[in-house]
Structure 1
Amino acid sequence: MENRYEQFRETVKPALKSKIEEFKLYGYDSVKEDELWNFLCKKKWKRDRDEKRLYQVVEDILSVKVGEYMNYATVEAFKSPDFFKDQGLKELSKLL
């Protein structure tokens, strides 16, 4: 997802990794860096009108709460296409 915060992505990689490690401490081992970045772009920074500075971007990353991210991930999972709707149905019909 290309946006105005993409310029910070390489610079804030250590903050992203730190947050991912925090998630792992809480037992959420499956969260990936790209998923966290997409969450920030789609939710945290969705309505931002003003240009953020580097320290503000890092602050936003480090302030993400596990529950906040997991709520987002759950909603995104419900939005994804149903496996059985397309390809899964074909696979099931082959098995029957």
Structure 2
Amino acid sequence: MDTEEEEEVSLTDIELNELIESLCLSKVEEFVMLGYEHVSGKDIWDCVSDKYRKTGVPSLHQIVNDILSLKSTAFMNWMTISMYKGAQF
């Protein structure tokens, strides 16, 4: 193997943020098709990243998996709990 193939490709913070934003917007489009019209990309990211508060930010593949596998019921449960805690929406 070439050493070039072994080098890990790392994203800049800007590229990572753009990737996460596009994934969240994709999930928003999915939720809109399901009838949830007032969902934003920020809401999706807040929901997904809420579980990273204790453990820290995981690897990129885990973030992608968490966003794309987010179910509408889990999102609505998180929204309800957040409203009870007093979060602003």
**Does TM, scored on the shorter chain, surpass 0.5?**
yes
Which of 35, 58, 65 is the equivalent residue of 1:59? 65
CA apart distance, 1:7: 7.7
CA distance in structure 2 between the partners assigned to 1:28 and 1:62 by the alignment: 16
Q: Which has the higher contact order (CA 8 A, sep 6+)?
A: 1
CA deviations over 1:45-72 (Å, ceiling 9, x no partner) = 23435x6332221111001010001001
Partner residue of 2:85?
Answer: 79
Q: Which has the higher helix share?
A: 2
Aligned-residue Cα RMSD (Å) equals 2.5
Gap regions ≥5 residues in structure 1: 82-96
Look at both structures and tell me which one has the larger radius of gyration over its CA atoms.
1
CA apart distance, 1:29: 0.8
For the structure 1 residues 7 and 48, does the alpha-carbon distance in structure 2 shift closer, same or farther, using more than 3 Å as the test? farther
CA distance in structure 2 between the partners assigned to 1:40 and 1:66 by the alignment: 12
- Letter matched to residue 81 of structure 2: V
- Letter matched to residue 68 of structure 1: A
Partner residue of 1:92?
Answer: none
Identity %: 31
Structure 1 residue 29 and structure 2 residue 37: aligned? yes
For the structure 1 residues 8 and 34, does the alpha-carbon distance in structure 2 shift closer, same or farther, using more than 3 Å as the test? same
CA deviations over 1:3-24 (Å, ceiling 9, x no partner) = xx99832222221111001110
Q: Secondary structure at the match of 1:46?
A: helix
- Letter matched to residue 34 of structure 1: K
Partner residue of 2:6?
Answer: none
